[in-house]
Amino acid sequence: MPTSAPRSVLLLFAFALAVLSPACARSRVAPAPSPTVAVVATAVPAREPSPTPEPDLGEGWIELVRRGWESILDYHIAQPEPRPLLAAAWREVSAEARSRGIDAGSQPLLAGEREEMWAAFADSYLALLHASPEDAWQAYRYAALNGMTASLGDCHTFFLPPRRSEVLTDIRTGRGSGGIGVELAPVRPTYVRETISGGPAHKAGVLPGDYLLAVDGRDVTGLGIEVITELLRGEPGSAISVEVRRPSNGSVLNFPLTRDLVHAPIADGRVLPDGSGYIRIRSFTTGPTLRDAVDGLIAGFEAAGVQGWVIDLRDNPGGDSDLELYGRFVGDAVAERSLLRDGGLEIRDGEGEAYPQRPIAVLVNAGTASVAEIFAAMLQDYGRGRVFGSGTGRCAGFVSLETYPDQSTLGVTIARSLTPRTEQPLWQTGVVPDVTVRRTQADIAANRDPVRDAALAWLRTQAP
């Protein structure tokens, strides 16, 4: 079978890219444009340290801008042209300069061959550096890289500054992060979609459905979720205040909180009152942790005589690909099918022994992305699960990750995912539910879950 790159076991998720950048992903390793490149698809793969020293990065680290441009040109699945990327980089750099009261001048003449285009861009870029204080140089570099990646409109191609890179690593590895323990809806104004049990917000009485009005006195009603997430994160032990509006009575409440290391379980579950088994998978993390957790839950269901399962993938941004977990559901059937840059296909089969055949209801929504979409599509494609909810994030593919010396990260899409049996373009269609049901903010505030209710009603019809 054709393959374009050695594989790494990583994937990247939708949440991350809703919160971290305009992207999401799944993972592997592509031919490395530098000694530190890794590939991912829904979680960020950690790169091994470079065995050789970094090259001379040049004034203002312009070499990293060039490296990012070349990585996109050489590995992106769409094989983009060099000129539009540099033009997009210059637009963003110029905008950053203007925000500082500096005139970047006209766009450089991007003509000729690839190297000539770079030389023209570099001349203008270096001239701007010389006309700017050094504290602007990093912002220019980030603007250039973000401009190039954003111009492709591709959820798996992105640039993350160091702090957002750290968030992505936290998600992929399943380790906790300093904050107040809330999940927010990606809307404006945002509201609390869930409070993490035992976290500061949960202990203080913040409720799902509460609208977030202010953080430390700053109005956040017009801000995007990525900015608000940055405000909420911080060192454990640090103080923060959040102001919310409770929809049940319109009251405005202020909660003084102390940030803590919040760790949401990767997967948890229980037997529901109607006798169905419920599993919530929050992300697909590196290693066997998730697989072991699901194994334990399924074993418990079997011991209790449970005849039907609900697998809740809502707001699951993805993570690492796990063929053994896939094999628990589809055996050795094709579990992943990927379209490569050269037009070829890469096929990966499930591994290991499958679980007992039980009716499965799968819950999804727009926050279900990357590996979570691949997993849901696999269950649906083979008739192993009936899908309930709303359309997924349409963010399923493989990304190559390169981590720079300042711990910022460049992601480049190197493959896109198809459904494993019917070969539908999952990055375009997402997972289309068999039964469309939506859970609104009002439902969350009232502790109602019509999506799960519909799934359970169907499971009852499948009982032997």
User: Closest Cα to residue 142, out of 106, 95, 108, 177?
Assistant: 95
1 falls within a domain: no
307/207 same-domain check: no
Residues 350, 207 share a domain: no
Specify whether 226 is located in the same domain as 300.
no
Query: Do 194 and 134 share a structural domain?
Result: no
Q: Which residue has the tokens 């809740």?
A: 312
The answer on pLDDT for 414 being more than 50 is: yes
Shared domain check, 223 and 129: no
Q: Give pLDDT, residue 111.
A: 95
User: What would the mean pLDDT of 416-433 be, rounded to a whole number?
Assistant: 96
**Is residue 171 in some structural domain?**
no
Q: C-alpha angle 173/179/184, rounded to 5°?
A: 85
pLDDT at 39: 31
Q: How many CA atoms lie within 13 A of 279 on its CB side?
A: 24
Q: What's this model's pTM, rounded to 2 decimal places? A: 0.86
| 55: DSSP letter | P
Say if 7 falls within a structural domain.
no
Are 401 and 312 members of one domain?
yes
- The distance in angstroms from the start CA to the end CA of the chain is 41
Residue with more model confidence, 49 or 59: 59
Q: Are residues 157 and 184 in the same domain?
A: no
What average pLDDT does this structure show over 314-321? 90
pLDDT value at position 46? Answer: 34
Give the pLDDT confidence score for residue 171 in this predicted structure.
62
The DSSP letter of residue 54 is: P
Same-domain status, 456 and 310: yes
Domain CATH code at residue 330:
3.90.226.10
Q: What is the pLDDT of residue 170?
A: 67
Q: Verify that 369 and 291 share a domain, yes or no.
A: yes
| pLDDT mean across residues, the chain | 87
Number of domains in the chain: 3
133 in the same domain as 186: no
Task: List, for residues 348-398, the tens digit of each pLDDT value.
Answer: 999 989 999 999 999 999 999 999 999 999 999 999 999 999 999 999 998
- Determine the average pLDDT of the residues in 63-69: 96
Range of the domain at 257: 177-262
Alpha helix locations (H) across 259-369?
289-303, 323-330
**Residues 258 and 272 occupy one common structural domain:** no
* pLDDT at site 173: 62
Q: Please indicate, yes or no, whether residues 292 and 413 belong to a single structural domain of this protein.
A: yes
Structure tokens at 382: 């083979």
Of the candidates 139, 163, 187, which is a domain's last residue? 163
pLDDT tens digits, 102-149:
999 999 999 999 999 999 999 999 999 999 999 999 999 999 999 999
